[in-house]
Structure 1
């Protein structure tokens, strides 16, 4: 539980960091377009609130979540967009208040999930700690869309380790999303943390390797930047392919962000 408590503290801190960006925005700034086509800043926050609410439902009433997921069926993507649109229409002040309350309720619910219990989700069921990591990842990723829209620097902290870890844990999922058989052997991943230290995963003698800045890796696995714009290096054909496919989130990979130079 100590590890989960620390993770929930990091989840709260990530939400607070984005909250600080949007809390005092003028109404017109909420209408600023973000890199996600058709999504404004308000849409991004409304989406985070809606997804937090879905996670809360999954953690507290799995049967109700499963029923809602089944009811959405093949129209899930449209349902997600519609929910963001509806939430964005409530007005900035009310939206922020709802988002804050939802974050707090979700954190409390995840703290209460019994050890070993699995929470249903849009992808595979997961433990409470994994759900907290997924919510942190999505908060950071949508926060990137917001800061991009506002011309602000990204939020960079030691919490990126959670995002990177999730990106690594979802390696096989990313291959499967594209109908490919995941590589059998583990990869070595070495990332330079924001403080200059080295974060590592996998065996030191692995043939397949990925190295580079942790921020760049997180931008890639959340698909917030084109690979051509990132200082990531892959050794081995499988690792190279992974950087093309990597995604740390459930569902389809979505449209690739164009490279900054305009050419792939």
Structure 2
């Protein structure tokens, strides 16, 4: 099992869930105003339709996992059988639908998911890929995915993806992803603590970790979120690291396997 290691005291569902809804609505406004969903996005082989299909499928799978964990076993078996091609195959299937049908499917699914995540106890555990998760963690995870895949679409359309305080949820997952980053790179997690100081879109500073930590990361919250979601290479950001472990982390940082 993978442990995302998030300090759940940071997650407030009353804030995170409305933020998830708004993130989806803003992306909906963008894609519904463009008729050509066949445009290629920065993700190799994925069009705008693939990006939306991926989000719709993930929302649907969370609902299945919440409502019928045994039924979700079938999805896990399909994922195992497909191997690393699973996400591409699912996105291909969704992208083959008429864009109007895909848009309707995504809208319906994310509305149902938001309602389900609002009602279920925060600590209720349900199966996910390689892990057991709770609604308290799934809410920011869905927001992160919506924001990240949305970034690909904004980039494709040359539209401005204005940073907001919703990035705090993504950044918190990024910080929590330190062990995951080193695990994925098949490296031992450094034993010493990290200090992360990010400039929020409002100009305030968001911080994680002890003040006296020697391994430190500084920069904008936007750059950090773009980096940990692999939407930008480190060289395309203005992030800075103090200490070899912090530098290595920025080079391998991720919030998903």
Query: TM-score when scaled to structure 2?
Result: 0.92
Could you tell me how far 1:117 is from its partner in structure 2? Answer: 1.7
Flag structure 1 segments of 5+ consecutive residues without an equivalent: 252-264
Q: Which residues of 2 match residues 60-75 of structure 1 at below 5 A?
A: 60-75=67-82
Could you tell me how far 1:123 is from its partner in structure 2? Answer: 3.9
Structure 1 partner of 2:15? 6
Structure 1 partner of 2:98? 91
Equivalent of 2:26 in 17, 20, 28: 17
Give per-residue Cα distances to partners, 1:151-195, cap 9 Å, x unaligned.
112241110000000011111011011111111222100000011
Give per-residue Cα distances to partners, 1:26-47, cap 9 Å, x unaligned.
2xx3111100011001110011
In the alignment, is the contact (CA less than 8 A) between 2:20 and 2:142 conserved in 1? Answer: yes
Q: State whether structure 2 residue 25 is matched by structure 1 residue 42.
A: no
In the alignment, is the contact (CA less than 8 A) between 1:31 and 1:41 conserved in 2? Answer: yes
Could you tell me how far 1:23 is from its partner in structure 2? Answer: 0.9
Q: State whether structure 2 residue 134 is matched by structure 1 residue 121.
A: no
Could you tell me how far 1:3 is from its partner in structure 2? Answer: 2.4
Give the 3 Å change call, closer, same or farther, for CA 115–161 of structure 1 in structure 2: closer
Equivalent of 2:145 in 138, 151, 155: 138
For the residues of structure 1 that align with 2:228 and 2:130, how far apart are their CA atoms?
16
Structure 2 partner of 1:261? none
Q: State whether structure 2 residue 228 is matched by structure 1 residue 221.
A: yes
Could you tell me how far 1:14 is from its partner in structure 2? Answer: 0.6
Could you tell me how far 1:235 is from its partner in structure 2? Answer: 0.6
In the alignment, is the contact (CA less than 8 A) between 1:211 and 1:232 conserved in 2? Answer: yes
Give the 3 Å change call, closer, same or farther, for CA 136–171 of structure 1 in structure 2: same
In the alignment, is the contact (CA less than 8 A) between 2:167 and 2:225 conserved in 1? Answer: yes
Structure 2 partner of 1:209? 216
Could you tell me how far 1:74 is from its partner in structure 2? Answer: 4.8
For the residues of structure 2 that align with 1:76 and 1:137, how far apart are their CA atoms?
23
Structure 2 partner of 1:262? none
For the residues of structure 2 that align with 1:246 and 1:157, how far apart are their CA atoms?
21
Structure 1 partner of 2:107? 100
Q: State whether structure 2 residue 231 is matched by structure 1 residue 230.
A: no
- Please give the root-mean-square deviation of Cα atoms over the aligned residues, in Å: 1.4
Q: State whether structure 2 residue 156 is matched by structure 1 residue 149.
A: yes
Give per-residue Cα distances to partners, 1:175-229, cap 9 Å, x unaligned.
0111111112221000000111111111111010000000000000000001001
Deviates more, 1:112-121 or 1:165-174: 112-121
Q: State whether structure 2 residue 252 is matched by structure 1 residue 245.
A: yes
Give the number of aligned pairs: 247
Q: Secondary structure at the match of 1:147?
A: helix
In the alignment, is the contact (CA less than 8 A) between 1:208 and 1:238 conserved in 2? Answer: yes
Query: TM-score when scaled to structure 1?
Result: 0.90
Could you tell me how far 1:113 is from its partner in structure 2? Answer: 2.2
Equivalent of 1:189 in 185, 196, 204: 196
For the residues of structure 1 that align with 2:118 and 2:70, how far apart are their CA atoms?
20
Q: Which has the higher contact order (CA 8 A, sep 6+)?
A: 2
